[in-house]
Chains A and B, each alone.
Chain A
């Protein structure tokens, strides 16, 4: 078992100070220790020392945890909650403690089948788009209909139809990761990202068929599949051929910075980790060129929602704000609890619909209070979740705004 085999000092690092409690959305809901980071770590520790049996109670607990990593940002002692979380979920998976046939089906259909096969995923996407355009969901039984509502609306075209394998020229040779959900639902964001990179002096390499980064697998305890995907990415985009590797999705980027932990014996992994950059972080690093035009004709008020895995997983908090603030004609108002999880959290909205809904309503309330008509966020999961709940809102990626502004220059 991973929890037992891991270096015990990782578990000991938690000094039970409780500083993470006020930032944990599940603790905030129930006020019970076991639903808090401190409580969960104590359960892991008790399992590691044989003081607690790993059983359904623990599996439920780790399913209830969003994996949002707000606790990691708050933790003064530097506890590696992400590592503990993934080890726990992998142990639970291995012991077969996850119940419910529905969940098994979702897992097989998505994690094991589609997200391991990028071409098939796109074909499935096509089928789904047709399905959505026909409005066929109304023939489904109620439970499945609910599920269908949470699925992304599939875009008209995917990244490979919008982006050439090599574009632009200049100082930096960058590899561009298109992501899975981003590619299916928001390929335009990938297009915008490439535009912005090209405008800032990059030679952008975007292989038309890319494997999933494996974050969704690691997050759900499927370590082996996560490893396989990481290897495929390293083969496709050898890190020594690029200056940086760009991700524009919070969840993928967060996972992709830790390939060395996943593949300790692969020499390329370390270099890869060092070269992965979130797009905003990279733009700020290379002193992004401020646009001379505004993205919209009229002045707009916007607000920004931090994706958990960008803010807490990658600690990228200021750069997206700095990019937004460069834009003429755009006023950004801070969103209350901007770095609280919106309840999307991978497949969380399917596995824990109740808590997911609570968080989404809380988020929507804060967004409404800002009076902004445009919400900016940099993760497809959040994008989807918030857009579905607030159809009146215009949800965009910060990079899209920047690309629009550049386009308006000429």
Chain B
């Protein structure tokens, strides 16, 4: 029997798609410019079915590309030629909330925002909140080790994964981790699978750690005449032993685009905008907010606004939440980067990006997670303008080199996938990259799972 027939008899005809219209719609993800048709798209509904699909594909050496919602920003779900896309959106149950152990168990296709909403029903909290949380899947979040706007205080996805159930490339099923807060039984295999971008195994169930939901939250928006002043404010806040949950910034270009789009009254002659949020016990929140406002003023903030209530809070936060959208509206193609530097080098990095773009006559807006040193320089361009695209790549190359010279990383949260592959060796060096490849070869000797991603 040929592969497609076997998959069909395993899953049923409705869950195996091969029509041209289907293949076209699974040939890309959230990343600009990458495109390749798969051979088929399959929708397993249980761990056993996932394992079955992997075994069938393995017989003919067909690569399997795992896919959640396809919002990835590094080309992680773009198929390789002849590959089968294995899409997990039908495995989307939230299986259990354990209020005694503060955990939540879910299938990989469960949507990130639904997970936090379910936790909230029990007065609990799932902190990682990527901008795509309304549609991204928890499987995708774990596979990319996604961050969000609360990284500074609450960390990233990895900090909340207690156990993963994984289908391995040979079709065997294994669980790594458990419900225990402490566990040092051997290597942490669980951590190997977190952030593995679908190259080592297919995650079919996760056990997540939850926290008590913070009782109060306060949002502050401040604008500055220079990026340095904003950066100094951030350093001073941290030096004052305040750990805000959110410290986000926009540069001038981004402020202008956001103002154009939202008309919320942002001063467009400002060089930097900071969105700050503190959460926790109401008394502590009130005190910290007051001190943050004071520090911002002392470091030359031009205007500082504190939200009076939840509605205003959301309104202020929308300045940051709409940054990517506001930039995306400006041009046909948006190339979004994800470099990250030590927090103290952030202002220097932002200046370097702006300078590089100016030299190469490119348009760039930079925003990101100031508290984490994670920047999203966003180039506004048109993929049909080959001349300009060449320059964009040139700029990316320069930005990456600068990042690495400052001790940074080529990607803080979007993963390597296809987009950052050219620079991984520069960052890791031969020994480290070689060891990484050895892991891949050991676990997936036939190179079946998401081949040619991260490295070749």
Which A residues are closer than 8 A to B by beta carbons? 8-9, 12-13, 15-19, 21-22, 31-34, 36, 38-39, 42-43, 46, 51-53, 57-58, 61, 76-78
Q: Which residues of A contact B69 (CB under 8 A)?
A: 18, 21
Contact of A51 with B24 in the complex, beta carbons under 8 Å: yes
Q: Which residues of B contact A12 (CB under 8 A)?
A: 332-333, 382-384
A21-B69, A42-B28, A51-B24 as given contacts; A57 in contact with B19, CB under 8 Å: yes
A76-B324, A76-B328 as given contacts; A18 in contact with B382, CB under 8 Å: no
Answer whether residue B32 sits at the interface, using C-beta atoms and an 8 A cutoff: yes
Chain B 71-89, CB-CB to A under 8 Å as 1, else 0, gives 1000000000000000001
- Complex Cα distance, B28 from A42, in Å, reads 9
**Contacting residues of chain B (322-345) with chain A, CB-CB under 8 angstroms:** 322, 324-325, 328-329, 332-334
Contact of B30 with A16 in the complex, beta carbons under 8 Å: yes
Interface range on chain B (Cβ under 8 Å from partner)? 35 or more
Contact of A32 with B17 in the complex, beta carbons under 8 Å: yes
Q: Which residues of A contact B111 (CB under 8 A)?
A: 22
Nearest Cβ in chain A — how far from B13, in angstroms? Answer: 13
A19-B135, A51-B24 as given contacts; A13 in contact with B332, CB under 8 Å: yes
Nearest Cβ in chain B — how far from A353, in angstroms? Answer: 19
Contact of B89 with A77 in the complex, beta carbons under 8 Å: no
Contact of A42 with B329 in the complex, beta carbons under 8 Å: no
A12-B332, A22-B135, A76-B325 as given contacts; A61 in contact with B30, CB under 8 Å: no
Q: Which residue of chain A has its CB nearest to the CB of B325?
A: A76
Answer whether residue B215 sits at the interface, using C-beta atoms and an 8 A cutoff: no
Nearest Cβ in chain A — how far from B45, in angstroms? Answer: 11
Contact of A17 with B333 in the complex, beta carbons under 8 Å: no
Contact of B28 with A78 in the complex, beta carbons under 8 Å: no
Q: Which residue of chain B has its CB nearest to the CB of A34?
A: B25
Chain B 22-34, CB-CB to A under 8 Å as 1, else 0, gives 1011111111100
Which B residues are closer than 8 A to A by beta carbons? 17, 19-22, 24-32, 43, 69-71, 89-90, 111, 132, 134-136, 322, 324-325, 328-329, 332-334, 382-384
- Complex Cα distance, B381 from A9, in Å, reads 11
Q: Which residues of B contact A34 (CB under 8 A)?
A: 21-22, 24-25
- Complex Cα distance, B19 from A343, in Å, reads 27
Would you call the interface of chain B mostly helix, strand, loop, or mixed?
Answer: loop
- Complex Cα distance, B20 from A109, in Å, reads 34
Contact of A16 with B21 in the complex, beta carbons under 8 Å: no
Q: Which residues of A contact B332 (CB under 8 A)?
A: 8-9, 12-13
Nearest Cβ in chain B — how far from A290, in angstroms? Answer: 24
Q: Which residues of A contact B135 (CB under 8 A)?
A: 18-19, 21-22
Contact of A39 with B25 in the complex, beta carbons under 8 Å: yes
6 additional contacts, CB 8 Å, given A16-B28, A18-B135? A18-B69, A18-B136, A34-B22, A34-B24, A39-B24, A77-B328
Contact of B26 with A33 in the complex, beta carbons under 8 Å: yes
- Complex Cα distance, B27 from A46, in Å, reads 11
Contact of B21 with A61 in the complex, beta carbons under 8 Å: yes
Nearest Cβ in chain B — how far from A78, in angstroms? Answer: 4
A21-B135, A78-B329 as given contacts; A15 in contact with B32, CB under 8 Å: yes
Partner of A43, one of B25, B70, B322: B25
- Complex Cα distance, B329 from A9, in Å, reads 11
Q: Which of B71, B132, B135 has the most CB of A within 10 A?
A: B135
- Complex Cα distance, B89 from A21, in Å, reads 12
Partner of A42, one of B17, B27, B132, B383: B27
Partner of B328, one of A15, A18, A46, A52: A15
Q: Which residues of B contact A53 (CB under 8 A)?
A: 20
- Complex Cα distance, B33 from A16, in Å, reads 10
A33-B70, A42-B24 as given contacts; A9 in contact with B382, CB under 8 Å: yes
Contact of B20 with A57 in the complex, beta carbons under 8 Å: yes
A18-B132, A76-B322, A76-B324 as given contacts; A33 in contact with B30, CB under 8 Å: no
Contact of B384 with A8 in the complex, beta carbons under 8 Å: yes
Q: Which of A9, A18, A39, A61 has the most CB of B within 10 A?
A: A18
Contact of B24 with A43 in the complex, beta carbons under 8 Å: yes
Contact of B132 with A17 in the complex, beta carbons under 8 Å: yes
Q: Which residues of B contact A36 (CB under 8 A)?
A: 25
Nearest Cβ in chain B — how far from A315, in angstroms? Answer: 14
Q: Which residues of B contact A18 (CB under 8 A)?
A: 30, 69-71, 132, 135-136
- Complex Cα distance, B90 from A53, in Å, reads 29
- Complex Cα distance, B27 from A147, in Å, reads 39
Between A and B, 6 residue pairs with Cβ closer than 8 Å are A8-B384, A15-B328, A19-B132, A21-B135, A53-B20, A57-B20
